[in-house]
Amino acid sequence: MRGFFDRRQVLHAPERELHNGGYMAYAESPARAEAVAAALPGLEVPEDRGEAPILAVHDAAYIAFLKRVPQLWADAGRSGDATGYVWPVVGRRPLNLSRVDALIGQYSFDASTPITPDSWTSAYWASQCALAATHAVLAGERTAFALCRPPGHHAGADYCGGYCYLNHAAIAAQAARDAGKARVAILDIDYHHGNGTQDIFLDRDDVFYASIHADPATDYPFFWGHADERGEGAGAGATRNLPLPRGTDLAPYREALACALDAIAAFGPELLIVSLGVDTYAGDRISFFGIETDDYAVLARDIAARGWPSAILMEGGYTVEAIGANVRTFLDAF
């Protein structure tokens, strides 16, 4: 299987994150990508397709913000990573604010995406990997892999959050639509609900979004991913959420996966994008499912058996010692 990765994706290295009331070392580390790359010999450097496919999903003002924040942060006399502390949830209305702290509040939804001088560069190349894998599949490969890092599924059209700055799965799906594929499905099997991906396609009927994740009643991102979120307007019925309790292991996970795959089959996609998070792993540092390394082969075969041309994009997975084996096991079986 062809796979894509660019060395510039490890430049982004925030120092710390707010976690359960204190700071801890940033879990979404460059070492994650290094470990996956070490387990997958032969990854290719993606072609540079420019910003146009990114701007087909993300607002131009948000992209300008990502590029500009490090300079604004320095101009304000700050050191360290740019992080916000005010989010306009209450009484939100359009304002033309320019202070960096206000802009971070406007363009993010949580404190998990510090912005460093390298964040844009690393996220940009992660998107290029997703595009390279997608175009490989559009050109006739049955499957291709993109080592996207930083990940993407929590990022919306005009916001970052949850370690995500650019939504690579959405960018890939939109590129496939623009290349003439009428119906694209995204299957999100990261431990966390992909609120950004859902938000981007919520009111559309051309991109189906199905997600299996920890119940947001107990787990991040809390406010999205509940079973009653099924799409809006033209997109009514084109979103499917399958929340599962903490402690879920292979057997119940496979039942949910069969439901998601049946829903995707009823939609009839011409291309499948898999948002692959291996933070469902039993030993994950920040998550609470019970999927073992060998189980990833079972899940991969369940998905591959449906026969859809598939681009597989990396999302989460935070136990660096296991992430390579988990991804490799999934891809080998696929």
Reply yes or no on whether 213 is catalytic: no
Number of residue whose CB is nearest Zn ion: 316
Rounded CA-CA distance 63/80 in Å is 21
Catalytic residue among 154, 192, 193, 213: 154
Dihedral sign of CA atoms 178, 184, 190, 195 in order: positive
Residues lying near ligand Q9C in the complex (CB under 6 A) are found at 19-20, 112, 151, 153-154, 162-164, 190, 192, 220, 277, 279, 315-316
CB of 19 to ligand Q9C, least distance (A): 4
Task: Between 269 and 277, name the residue whose CB sits nearer to Zn ion.
Answer: 277
| CA 249 to centroid of chain Cα atoms | 22
Strands (DSSP E) found in the chain: 2-4, 16-19, 22-25, 143-146, 184-188, 207-214, 239-244, 271-276, 310-314
CB of 162 to ligand Q9C, least distance (A): 4
Task: Between 35 and 72, name the residue whose CB sits nearer to ligand Q9C.
Answer: 35
Task: Between 159 and 191, name the residue whose CB sits nearer to Zn ion.
Answer: 191
**Does 191 engage in binding with Zn ion (CB under 5 A)?**
yes
Burial label for 42, CB within 10 Å (0-12, 13-18, 19+), is exposed
Q: For Zn ion, which residue of 58, 168, 192, 204 counts as binding (CB under 5 A)?
A: 192
Six-digit token pair at 197? 């991906």
Q: Answer with the entry of ligand Q9C, Zn ion, none that 145 interacts with (C-beta below 5 to 8 A by kind).
A: none
Rounded CA-CA distance 285/320 in Å is 9
**Three-state secondary-structure class, residue 48:** coil
Q: Answer with the entry of ligand Q9C, Zn ion, none that 6 interacts with (C-beta below 5 to 8 A by kind).
A: none
Task: Between 67 and 285, name the residue whose CB sits nearer to Zn ion.
Answer: 285
Q: For Zn ion, which residue of 81, 229, 279, 284 counts as binding (CB under 5 A)?
A: 279
- Write the CB contacts of 229 (distance below 8 Å, at least 6 apart in sequence): 198, 239, 241
User: Catalytic residue numbers?
Assistant: 154
Summarize as ranges the residues that interact with Zn ion (CB under 5 A): 190-192, 277, 279, 316
